[in-house]
Structure 1
Amino acid sequence: MVLRKQVLLASGAAIFGLVPVFAQPVLAQSAPAPSSAPVAATTQADPVADGADTDIVVTGIRGSLRSAIAVKRNANAIVDVISAEAIGKFPDRNVAESLSHVPGVSIDRRFGEGEKVAIHGTDPALNRMLLDGHAVASADWGGNDNDPTSRTFNYSLLAPELVERLEVYKSPEPRIEEGSIGGTVIVRTRRPLDTPANSIFASGGYSYNDRADKGNVRASGLYSWHNEGGTFGVLGAVTYDKQSLTRSGVEFFGFENAGDRFFQKDANNALIRDASGQPVLKNPGATVTGGTRQDLANAVSPFGINYAYFTQERKRISYVGTVQAKPTDDITLTLNGLHIDGNYNNSSQSMYVIPGAWSGDVLQSATVANGVVTNASFGAASAGSQSAQLDLLIRKTKLTTDNLNFVAEWEGPDGATVSATGGWSKAIGGRNPEYLLDVRTDLPYSYGFNSDSANVDYVGDLTNPANYRRSNSPQLQTIDGAPVIVNGTQLNAARAGGIDFSKTIDRDYYAGYDAVIPFEAGPFKEIRIGGKFTDHRNRLNASGFNNYSTSNYTLASLGVDTMTTPNGTFDGTGGTGNATKYINLSQQTVIDILANSINIPVAKPTASYIVDETVAANYVQLNFDQSGFRGNIGGRLVYTKNVSNYADQVSSTDGSLPTIVPQQVENDYLKFLPSPERRV
C-alpha cells in the first residue's frame, strides 16, 4: 500500500490531501514494462510462511515518468507530457491548473481558479482541447460578457484525478484535428485494461476561503477492475468539488473630459466664458483647487467609480465510466462516458457613482493635479437625476456536460493499427435566469484617489433602507417602439429591473478512423492515414421579462429584510470611505421584489442565434527517422461548411414599428493544410 499525505498553505486557504493507492500483487520481473499508472509496493510470497528467500520488487513513479518520456521521445512534434503521478504531486483543483506546470502554457484564472489555457501566449479560444482525441462540447456560466462561447474548453469542469496523462502539442501534425493556432491539449483518461485490477484511487481535501469565511471539502474516488485474462474491464470515478467564493474591489470605469461635464455650453457645444475668459461652471459657486477653471476644463475625471461585492458558490459533481473488452487478442473495444453537473449560482452587488453625468451640475469642489481631477465633492442630486446607484444582480446557472465516445482498435502482428471512433458531446449553460434590481440614492458625496487607493464618502447613512428609492420615473412604456398594453391601456410606470434568460447549447456529433502502416522507404518508417466527420451546433436562446412598478417606493417602504456588506469586505482592496458599507439584499429578496412587480415578457430574437458547422477532413502523414533527424511530412485536406441563422431588427422609413427579419449566412471552403515538422 502506498500512502501519500500533503499539507500546504496557499493563497490564504488551507488544503489537506490524503491519497491512498491500492493494487493487486505483481510478480517480480527482471524488466518491468512501462506503465502510466503508479504501481504500489508488492511482494511475491510470504517469506515467513515459505521459509525461503523472497524477491521484493518496489516500483513507484518510475514507470509513470518513463511512459511520459517515451511519448515525448517518440513524438514527431514539439510535445510536453504530464503523467498521472506528476499530476498527483500538486494540489490542483482542475486540469487547467495541472497544465500550468508545462513550459509555455499559461492559464486564465477566474476568481482564483484556473479555467482556460493559453499556449505560447495565444488567446484560449485559439487553442484546442481534445478528450482522448476528440473535441468536447463546452458552455460557460455567463459571468463575463467579454467571454463569449467559443471553441475553448472550461477546464475547471474536469478533475485531474480522472486523467492518465496530459499531452500538449505545441506544433501541428496532420493527424491532429485542425483549428488551433497556439497548440492542442490532448487529455488521456484512464483505461481499465491498462490499470492494475482492483485499483482504487482516492483523494480528499478541505479548503477555507478567509474572505468568504467559509470552508468546503472536495473528494474523488476511482475504481478500476479487469478479469484475470485482461479481456474485460470496467472503471468508474466520481468527483465532488465545492467552493465558496467572495470577491470585492474598487473599479474605475475609465476617464472622460471634465469640460464636457462640469461646465455650461452654448448651442454649438462650445464652453460659455465669463468676462475674464474663464469657462463658466454649471454650479458657479463651486471651487477649484490646484489650477484655474480652464485647467479643470482641460483635465480628465473618472467616468465611474464602483464598489463591487461578488459572492458565488460553485459545486461540481462529475461521473466517468469506461468499459473495455478484447474479444480477440488484436481487437480492443472501448466505451467511455462522462457526465458533469455544475452549479455556479452567484450574486453581485455594486454601489457606484457616475460623477460627471449624474452630478456635474451639483459640483461643490474639485482638485486638479497633473491634468486629473483627483478629488471632488458634490451636493445632493438635483431633480430628475441621482447621486449613486445600487445594482443587485442574481444569476442562477447550472452547467451540464455530457460525452459518449466509442473506439474500436485493431493491432496487427507487424505493428499496423486501425481504429474507428464515433461519439456525441453536449453542453448546456448560461444565465438561466439572471435577475436585476436597481435602486438609487440622492445623498451628497465626495471622492478622492491616488495611484493605489480610492475613497468615496457619502453625507448620510448608506445602511439606511430609507435612503434608497426606486430607479427611474413613471412614463408611458414601450418595447421596441410598440406600446406596452396592460388591461387595455398603455402602461404608465417606472422600470424596476428585469429578468434575463440566456441559454447556451453546444453539441457535437463525430465519427472517424485512423490507420498506422509500418513500411521502409529510405528515411520513412511509417505512414498514417485517417479522416473525420464532425457536425457541430452552437446555439443561444435569449428571452426575458421587463419589470415595472407604479409605486414610488423606497427599500424601507417595501418592508423587506436588508443586510449590509460584511465587515472587512473591502480590506486590502485600497477602497475606503463609508461606501465600503452599504445595503445588501438576499437573493430571495431580490427575486421576490421582481416577482411582485409588473412583468412583461420580452422576446429577444436579435440576441438569439444558431450556428451549424460541418467539417470533413482527411489526412496523410509520413513519419521519418534517420541520422538523428526525426519528423513528419504530410497534409490535411479539410472541407468546412458554416450556416448561421440569426435575426436583425430593421428600422422603417415611414415611421412604423421596426420589423424583425430572419437572416441566414452560408459559406463553405476547401483547404489543404500542409504540415512539415522536423525534430533533432
Structure 2
Amino acid sequence: MRVITRALTGAATLAIIGGMSATAHAQDAASADDSIVVTGIRASLESAQERKRTADAIVDSIVADDIGKLPDSNTTEALQRISGIQISRDRGEGGSVAIRGLTQVLTTINGRDIFTAGGGRGYNLQDFPSELLGGVDVYKTPTADLIEGGIGGVIDLRTRKPLDFDGFELSGSVRGRYETLADKIDPLVSALVSDRWNVGGGEMGLLLSGSYQERSFRSDVISNGAPSLRSDIIPGQQIYTPNGDYEPLINGKRRRIGLQGAFQWKPNPDLEIFAEAGYQEFRSLQQQRGLNNPTNGRAVDPDTVTLYEGTSDFKSGTFLDVPITTYGVQRDTYDKNQQYTIGAKQFFGESSISSEFTYQKSTNELYYSELDLATVLPRLTIDTSGKVPSALVDGIDLSDINNYNIGPLTRSENHYKGDSYAGRIDGDFKIDNSFLTAFKAGFRYQKLSTSFVPIRFYQGPATTTSAAAFAGLFESMPFKDYFDGTSRLEHDYLTAITSNLGNAADWENVRQTIGLTNKPAVDPKSVYNMSEETLGGYARLDFGTSGAIPIDGNIGVRVIKTKLSIDGNQAVNGVVEPAFWDSSYVSALPSANLRVHFTDRLQLRLAASQSLTRPNFSQLSPALTLVPAQGQGSGGNPNLKPLRADAFDASLEYYFSRTGSLYLAGFYRKVKGFIFTNGNTQTIDGIEYVITQPTNGRSGEIKGVEIGGQTFFDFLPGPFDGFGIQANYTYVDSSTPAIIPTELTPLPNLSKSSFNVAGLYEKGGLSARVAYNYRSKYLSGIYGLSHGAGVPPELLPVYAKGYGWLDASIGYDITKQITVTLEGSNLLQRREFTYYGSPTRPNGRSIDDRQIMAGIRFKL
C-alpha cells in the first residue's frame, strides 16, 4: 500500500506541476487568431482587481466566478494568497488568520458581524466552506460605515444573490479527496441553484446553495520537551537537557456542512426587499495515541551522553528508571452557526435608505476523554538529532499488559453558547456639489449574549492497580508506520481503545469497570454568562475633485457605546461565591481615506484611522480561585479594557491591463493595551494575594511593507499568451508587550517575511495553477527556564522554523458545461520544526497529509 501511495502522490504531483508547461504544446492545433475569452481564472482576477481599484479604502479581494472555483477547500486557505495575511495550520488545513501580524480580526458576512461561540469574539473561518463564497474582501483600512471590532482589519465573506444572475443557474462540483497518511478517500460535494422571475412590474429571485465536505486526517508529532539545566550529567558543567519526549499520533475525521439561502424581491426598480439565511456545521472527531516519557530528575548513564558540538546542549543519552504513560484520547469538537437576516432598501434617485435585522445563534462543544497506562522504563535512550528524533526502550516489553498499571481517567467538556440580535439603518445621500459627493450616516444596535459551562473529571485508582484484569479496554498501538515506521521510535506498545471513550455511555462504562467512584461534574467557579450591548452611529462624507490630478476619498467618524454585564463565580478558600460586574464606555473612531489619481492607471491611496478590539469573553471571565494558605490566586479579569490602534497606511497602485497590476503598500500600527498574563498583588478579605490574570499592557508597534502584482502574458504569441503570474511579498516588523510584560518582543506567530507566487495558465478550455506560499520563522511562545531559588528564570524564545506550502491544480473543459479537475495540496509535505532559542534545543516535529483531489465541476 505504501508503494502505491507514493506512486499515486508522485504521479499526481508531476501531472499537476508539469501540466503547465505541457499545456503550451497542447495548443499547437489552435488557430492563430484564437482570441482570449475572459472566463475562469482571468474573469476572477479581473473582477478582484477591479474591486481593489475602485474600493473606497485599501482593500484586497478574492473572487470565484463559479461555485467551487476558489482554489482552496476552506476560507482560511483561500485567504493565504493575499499579501499581508499569514495563517496558522490545524492538522494540515488552514486555521486562524492574522492581517499584518494582528490576529484581532473582525469577520463579517455580506457586511454583517458573525461569530463562533467559544470564549472568543471571532468567527472560526474553518467553519465556512469556500464553495459557498462568491468572493472575500479584506479591508486593511476602515471606513466609518464598517462595523468596529478588528484592529487588524475586516474580512467580509460575500455570498451570491439570485438577482446577480441573468436567469436560471444550476452549478456545482463533485470531488474526491485522498489523504496520503490517513490513506482514505473522502467526498466534497457542492451545488447552487438560482432563478429569477418577472412579477408584475418588478422581479423576484431565489437562490439556494450547499456544500458537504469530509476529510480524514493524520498528523505524526514528536516533542523532546522543554529543557532544564542539569549539572549531574557532565561533572562541572550545566547542560540544557530535554525533559523527555512526547509522541502523539493524531488521526480523525472532519465534516464541514454549509447551507446558504437568499431571496430578493424588487416590486419596482426603486425598492428591494430581501431575506438571507446561513447555516454552518463543523465536526472534528479526533483520536490520539502515543507515549509520554518524562525524564526530568531521572538518572542518566554518563557514558552515553553526547552534546551538540560547541554547545552545552544535550544531543543524546540514556535515562534510567523513567516512569511513563501510554495514552488513548478521544477529542471531539462541534461548531454550529446560524444567521438569519431580513431587510429592505429604498432608492430616491441616486440616494437610498436601507435597514436590516439579523439574528445569530452559535454553539461550540468540546468532549475530551483520556485513559492512561503507567509503567517504568529501565532504560530510555533519546537522540534529539535528525529529521526524526530517537526514543528507544530497553529492559521491558511494552506489548505485554502485565507490565502496566492502570493510570488516570479524564473527562473534560466545554459547552459554549451564544446568540445575537442586531438591527441597523443606513442612509446614503448624494450631494450635488463640486467637492462633496455624498453623505452617509447610520445607526446600529446589537445585543450579544454568551455563556460557558465546563464539566470536569480526573481520577485514578486509589492504589496501584494492575492493568491485566482490564485487558479488554486496551489494544496494541494500531499504527506501526509512525513517522514512516522509522526504527528510531517505539511502535509496539499498548494504548486505550479510543472508541470506548467518545460516547458518554461508553465512557461511563469504562469508569465503572475500573471502579472509580467520582463522577463528572460542573466546575462552578468557571461558569459565566455575559451580555454585551452596543449602540453605534456614524457619519461619513465622500468628496472628490476634478482637474489635472483628480482626488477623491472619504472622512468620517464612528461612535459606539458599549455596555457589558458579567455574571460568574469566584472560589475563595474552596467556597464558590457569585460575582457580578457591570461596565460601560464610549468610543469615537475617526477614519479618513484619500485617493490621488495621477493617471487613469496610477493612483496613490493614503489612510489614517483609529480602531478597537474588545477583550475575549474568556479573558473577561470573573473566575478567580484563591488559595489563602499560599497567598496565590488565578483567574480572568472583568476590568480589561479594549485594545485600541492608531493606523497609517499608504498604497501606490498601477493598473496596466484588465488583469495586470502592480502595487507597493506601507503600513504602521500603534496598538495600546495589549493583553498579557501578569501577576499583581491584591488584598482580599484582609489577606494579600499574588494573582495571575490577564492585564492590559503597554503600547506596541507594527510596521511593514507589501509589494505585489499580477498579469497574463497576452503579448506573447499563442499558445504562450495563456500564461500568467501572481506574486506578492510582505515584510512585517513588530515590537509588543504581548508575552513578556517587562520587554518588547515580536508578535507571536508573526513571520517577518512571507510571500506567495503562483504560475497560471488558461487557454482553449485548459487551466492550470501552481501556487507556493512561504513564511519565515516566527515566535510561537516564551519558556521560562528555572535557574534555582532566588535567580530570575531564563526566558527562552520558542521559534517555529520557516516553511513553504505548495498547491497545484489542473482543469479541463470537456464541454462548456463540464470541467474535470485534478488538485493537490501540501505537495511538499511540510515538516514543522520548533525549537527553544537554538535549533540544537529542539522542541517539536510534525508531518501532515498530502492531499490529492479529483472531480468535476458543472454549470447548466
TM-score when normalising by structure 1:
0.76
The corresponding residue for 1:250 is 222
- Cα 1:71–1:108 shift into 2, 3 Å: same
2-structure distance, mates of 1:15, 1:452: 25
2-structure distance, mates of 1:641, 1:15: 58
- Cα 1:363–1:102 shift into 2, 3 Å: same
2-structure distance, mates of 1:428, 1:214: 29
Corresponding residue SS for 2:484: coil
Out of 313, 330, 344, the position equivalent to 1:394 is 330
| Contact 1:137/1:508, CA 8 A, preserved across alignment | no
What does residue range 14-93 of structure 1 map to in structure 2 within 5 Å? Answer: 60=39, 67-85=47-65, 88-93=68-73
C-alpha offsets along residues 269-324 of structure 1, whole Å, 9 cap, x if unaligned?
A: xxxxxxxxxxxxxxxxxxx5xxx4221xx112112311111112101222211122
The corresponding residue for 2:145 is 175
Offset at residue 14 of structure 1 (A): 8.2
The corresponding residue for 2:259 is 319
What does residue range 422-441 of structure 1 map to in structure 2 within 5 Å? Answer: 422-431=357-366, 433-441=367-375
Offset at residue 15 of structure 1 (A): 13
Out of 577, 590, 593, the position equivalent to 1:677 is 593
Offset at residue 443 of structure 1 (A): 2.0
C-alpha offsets along residues 359-415 of structure 1, whole Å, 9 cap, x if unaligned?
A: 34898854455212322323335xxxxx211232212322211111112111222x1
Corresponding residue SS for 2:357: strand
Offset at residue 227 of structure 1 (A): 1.0
The corresponding residue for 1:514 is 426
C-alpha offsets along residues 145-184 of structure 1, whole Å, 9 cap, x if unaligned?
A: xxxx322221121122222221111101000011111111
2-structure distance, mates of 1:361, 1:293: 12
Offset at residue 577 of structure 1 (A): 3.0
Corresponding residue SS for 2:377: coil
| Contact 1:536/1:614, CA 8 A, preserved across alignment | yes
Relative contact order, higher structure (CA 8 A, sep 6+) = 2
- Cα 1:118–1:15 shift into 2, 3 Å: farther
2-structure distance, mates of 1:429, 1:14: 37
Corresponding residue SS for 1:221: strand
The corresponding residue for 1:117 is 97
Out of 123, 139, 163, the position equivalent to 2:133 is 163
1-structure distance, mates of 2:14, 2:432: 54
| Contact 1:366/1:375, CA 8 A, preserved across alignment | yes
Offset at residue 649 of structure 1 (A): 1.2
Corresponding residue SS for 2:236: helix
Name the aligned partner's letter for residue 173 of structure 1: T
2-structure distance, mates of 1:68, 1:151: 28
C-alpha offsets along residues 77-115 of structure 1, whole Å, 9 cap, x if unaligned?
A: 101122222885443101222222222222222111112
Corresponding residue SS for 1:562: strand
C-alpha offsets along residues 43-79 of structure 1, whole Å, 9 cap, x if unaligned?
A: xxxxxxxxxxxxxx98735776665444333322101
Corresponding residue SS for 2:321: coil
Out of 523, 539, 560, the position equivalent to 1:620 is 539
The corresponding residue for 1:639 is 561
The corresponding residue for 1:144 is none
Offset at residue 660 of structure 1 (A): 0.8
What does residue range 499-538 of structure 1 map to in structure 2 within 5 Å? Answer: 499-538=411-450
Corresponding residue SS for 1:256: strand
1-structure distance, mates of 2:69, 2:229: 53
The corresponding residue for 1:420 is 355
- Cα 1:89–1:339 shift into 2, 3 Å: closer
Offset at residue 555 of structure 1 (A): 3.6
| Contact 2:67/2:173, CA 8 A, preserved across alignment | no
More strand by share: 2
| Contact 2:220/2:249, CA 8 A, preserved across alignment | yes
The corresponding residue for 1:24 is none
2-structure distance, mates of 1:532, 1:338: 21
2-structure distance, mates of 1:246, 1:59: 40
Corresponding residue SS for 2:490: helix
- Cα 1:453–1:81 shift into 2, 3 Å: closer
| Contact 2:372/2:496, CA 8 A, preserved across alignment | no
Unaligned 5+ segments in structure 1 are: 1-8, 18-56, 141-148, 263-287, 382-386, 472-495, 652-657
Out of 55, 63, 75, the position equivalent to 1:95 is 75
The corresponding residue for 1:629 is 551
1-structure distance, mates of 2:198, 2:388: 67
| Contact 2:223/2:246, CA 8 A, preserved across alignment | yes
| Contact 2:362/2:419, CA 8 A, preserved across alignment | yes
The corresponding residue for 1:240 is 212
How many residues are aligned here?
A: 552
Name the aligned partner's letter for residue 223 of structure 2: E
| Contact 1:623/1:631, CA 8 A, preserved across alignment | yes
- Cα 1:63–1:437 shift into 2, 3 Å: closer
2-structure distance, mates of 1:58, 1:376: 65
Determine if the alignment matches structure 1 residue 461 to structure 2 residue 397: yes
- Cα 1:99–1:379 shift into 2, 3 Å: closer
Offset at residue 327 of structure 1 (A): 2.6
Name the aligned partner's letter for residue 113 of structure 2: A
Out of 367, 373, 376, the position equivalent to 2:317 is 376
Determine if the alignment matches structure 1 residue 594 to structure 2 residue 574: no
| Contact 2:406/2:460, CA 8 A, preserved across alignment | no
The corresponding residue for 1:568 is 481
TM-score when normalising by structure 2:
0.60
How much identity, in percent, do the aligned residues show? 23
| Contact 2:538/2:559, CA 8 A, preserved across alignment | yes
Corresponding residue SS for 1:355: coil
Offset at residue 536 of structure 1 (A): 1.4
Offset at residue 194 of structure 1 (A): 1.6
| Contact 2:117/2:450, CA 8 A, preserved across alignment | no
- Cα 1:139–1:603 shift into 2, 3 Å: closer
The corresponding residue for 2:468 is 556
- Cα 1:90–1:582 shift into 2, 3 Å: farther
Corresponding residue SS for 1:570: helix
| Contact 1:212/1:246, CA 8 A, preserved across alignment | yes
Offset at residue 452 of structure 1 (A): 4.0
Out of 243, 249, 270, the position equivalent to 1:309 is 249
| Contact 1:375/1:447, CA 8 A, preserved across alignment | yes
Out of 112, 116, 122, the position equivalent to 1:134 is 112
Offset at residue 508 of structure 1 (A): 1.6
- Cα 1:98–1:578 shift into 2, 3 Å: closer
Offset at residue 342 of structure 1 (A): 2.2
1-structure distance, mates of 2:15, 2:270: 44
- Cα 1:515–1:226 shift into 2, 3 Å: same
1-structure distance, mates of 2:156, 2:467: 53
- Cα 1:307–1:601 shift into 2, 3 Å: closer
| Contact 2:68/2:173, CA 8 A, preserved across alignment | no
1-structure distance, mates of 2:48, 2:313: 56
Out of 164, 171, 177, the position equivalent to 1:207 is 177
Name the aligned partner's letter for residue 389 of structure 2: A
The corresponding residue for 1:146 is none
Alpha-carbon RMSD across the aligned residues, in angstroms, is: 2.9
1-structure distance, mates of 2:48, 2:316: 59
The corresponding residue for 1:336 is 276
| Contact 2:442/2:539, CA 8 A, preserved across alignment | yes
Corresponding residue SS for 2:432: strand
| Contact 2:108/2:154, CA 8 A, preserved across alignment | yes
Moved more, 325-334 or 199-208: 325-334
1-structure distance, mates of 2:11, 2:584: 52
